[in-house]
Structure 1
């Protein structure tokens, strides 16, 4: 109970911070270039020890834990994990499955299958396909007779992307989900002929689906749908003229060299199988619904998937950036929906978006979470009872320990790479700039002189500020890079002279100010650093001033 009370307190602080105005109001995106964490980093080592100390009392035989778990945090620069932890509960059926859980132990991942399916879809069909009407690829929907808006999905207007982001207004499933329990007796033609334990074939699926009522108008609000991803599986088969299973095995599992990920039920000897109903859930066949929830994988392979997404292994960077964006809000300020991302926002200490997908199927629960701001992610796989709550709790603990450490590692490395004093060559004009890191996000400009003119005073004049104390300048990476050069933009938050009393007076509006002062076609806020072979800055160009300032002084590591 003490742990859950602590989590409730953390949650209260979290939602209070989410509602507060971010200070000093950065843009969405990285505050520093991606960190390159190493196993010997002291901050990361401290975070790992803290996380282990939080997990150990939850998962131990003395507390009667009935959940086996594998946890892994990973980054894009190292094949070895940043953190790994596992626990083997006493209730495993060792006659069927593994007797000891490790990072290669296989779990069912439930609806995280949708993320695997979507990555395969983008790798094979491309981002532009998401704008196509689904009827272009699925003849059963093309020939569907449209009914009225309350009783029939208007399939001719549904796009591939709306199915992928749960915005199509399509029912959740097409299979039996309830027994009679006091409801009216169904007529024979109202009883689904398939579902659990016998999966529906394609004909049965569409015969049933086309009778389902819509949940909402198209693109009105996100409403979760497994059926949508079964349809996407059929669409990819039409686009590639191959079965989804073949494409999954060759273009995803084979392409990423995964050895513990399976489309069909693998040998139980590889699996984490709880006693009781665990064996039934392990072998449950979802048939054509596998793209929505049937995949099997391990912590190591889930981490490999996360690295591949962040490293643009099977998709180009533009596709990845377009994909990792919200498509809709939910009623929670901290939760948005993508395709099929479940996007969680929280402060660590600045506001960060985690792109996640969670899943449940019977005794199995899982999550894959990615932080595009840091080039890192984590996965949690659970087999046991009450797994969804367990995954959510452990995900909170991982995010609240590992991500802040990585944010500080990124800041430490940015200080070494960029902080210091830059000036014009000896004998040139009196121009210099000093850059540091401090308590806040981004690189802090502490002094800036151009041609003997104090640029803070110039900015105060441009901003209509009374004095330079109202001017702060922070540099943030834009993601624009060429060999030997990296681009930053300066944010100079405006002082509106208002005491925040609500969402309008308290909103962060720095995104509106980017590139707002132009001189000779160049933004005053554009900075480019030249880098050496070690990716450390040798000079910086405040490009509006048409000058390269050489790095004269570097901070010590």
Structure 2
């Protein structure tokens, strides 16, 4: 099993690469998820071209040399893999792929006689959990607080030696890895439907490890309960049909389905690498998919194709912490809180890793960047569940760093620069990115009468003007004609901002009267700022040409 932190640890370093400097004594404490507006990367853009050129060369060289000093070694003769990076931008729905790379090992080609393509089907293991939860949201709605016994009342009569109650287990705790249930019922087999009576009998022998909503532990049985509940809600339709009707068919995921006895005769890549008799719940580990289908799904998740946007926002968030400060848990996400230092801003990546037999997979979304990635791999020489994707993940994380750079560059191009008064001379506002934080730093700000607002705000806040860090962060309150930003003020000399990991600016937005906290950029037809309005339009500054 590869390390879950790999891709995001590299992303953490790259998240500050556009403004990185050594020995920064102050790091601006931004509002999480609001560092820059999401970049809009066209397939014909410089960023997309750079990603394709750079990382095609990286993978080519890696395969040629069997690894590198920077990334580590790979088993070229036996490991086949596919990698993709995609955008969640609405206008790229028909073709959101920005980079893809496929490699078929000599051993796999000899066995299968085929080369990997974007449509090659792989068992994706634990990635199944994402689609079980996604399907629940599409079909059953956002019912996180409802007990599972509402949908499967039979559980109330389940004989158990545990004092924990089935009524306490909610849909949210099942989806969010905090049900407290044992890992597996030992009653289901990969490639076969799971019988309810056998599942319940197996689960009754040792159902609970913890009371629900206590601590995250993976339970395959939890997702099978969701699958059973959806089957029952669909008047007996199989879980396979529920998935198809709710997600696969609407999104055109033609290569996706459940592993079953017929899969041996279908297009699953190197199916001999999977032990079809191993135990495991279909609702947790038995989906087959392809790179192209994972791109369709990832784009749909980011763009709220099948869900209400508010539901999507709530879903793409962590819900629990783990014993490591960097790692969180969602429904069913593995959330990595990336940041290069204890006081640097955090960028969350919502990921899910999967292993099954001699296959490994990795899928992730970074909502703030409207970006996602997927990796699928096979190696017939490794032990079951031991295929390592660390090298591939490191490379993909560097490619995602280009999105951060693009976001910073687009922010400056669209909103930065000089502003003045209409029909007047001189600079009344100056906004730019800096080396010690995200957002737009307000380097100068005066009202129409020439009063120095930056100095005035520093006096009100009792901060030396030279020590005032004054930044604007984008919100998602926007339309085609305007975009709202909010102001965050910090004292660069304050010990809390220099030596400790505490970041409490989220408590301070709008807390002090007499200083502006709401800034509106009015946009022109190209989407760039034409002017800025402070608070209720008390100050209006025109962007300079």
Q: Over aligned residue pairs, what C-alpha RMSD do you find?
A: 3.1
TM-score normalised according to structure 2 size: 0.85
Q: 1:306 to 1:447 in 2, by over 3 A?
A: same
What does 1:153-552 correspond to in 2, within 5 Å? 153-175=164-186, 195=189, 200-241=194-235, 242-265=237-260, 266=263, 268-273=265-270, 277-278=272-273, 280-281=274-275, 289-347=281-339, 350-384=345-379, 385=382, 390-399=388-397, 401-426=398-423, 432-439=428-435, 440-450=437-447, 451-465=449-463, 467-495=464-492, 497-498=494-495, 505-518=500-513, 524-544=516-536, 546-552=538-544
Query: Corresponding residue for 2:87?
Result: 75
1:511-536 superposed Cα distances (whole Å, 9 cap, x missing partner): 121121245xxx72111111122211
Q: Secondary structure at the match of 1:442?
A: strand
Q: Is the 8 A contact 1:35 1:409 kept in 2?
A: yes
Unaligned runs of at least 5 residues, structure 1: 176-191
* 1:307 CA drift (Å): 0.3
Q: Is the 8 A contact 2:191 2:259 kept in 1?
A: no
Q: Is the 8 A contact 1:366 1:388 kept in 2?
A: no
Partner Cα distance (2:114, 2:137) in 1: 37
Q: Is the 8 A contact 1:98 1:270 kept in 2?
A: no
* 1:82 CA drift (Å): 1.3
Partner Cα distance (2:267, 2:11) in 1: 41
Partner Cα distance (1:414, 1:515) in 2: 23
Q: Secondary structure at the match of 2:106?
A: coil
> Between Structure 1 and Structure 2, how many residues are aligned?
509
Q: Secondary structure at the match of 1:205?
A: helix
* 1:259 CA drift (Å): 1.6
Of structures 1 and 2, the one scoring higher in RCO (CA 8 A, sep 6+) is: 2
Q: 1:171 to 1:496 in 2, by over 3 A?
A: farther
TM-score normalised according to structure 1 size: 0.83
Q: 1:231 to 1:516 in 2, by over 3 A?
A: same
Partner Cα distance (2:11, 2:42) in 1: 33
Partner Cα distance (1:64, 1:398) in 2: 18
Partner Cα distance (2:407, 2:185) in 1: 47
1:369-407 superposed Cα distances (whole Å, 9 cap, x missing partner): 1111110110000111367553233222211x1122111
Query: Corresponding residue for 1:114?
Result: 129
**For structure 1, which segment, 137-146 or 20-29, has the greater mean C-alpha deviation from structure 2 after superposition?**
20-29
**For structure 1, which segment, 226-235 or 381-390, has the greater mean C-alpha deviation from structure 2 after superposition?**
381-390
Q: 1:195 to 1:246 in 2, by over 3 A?
A: closer
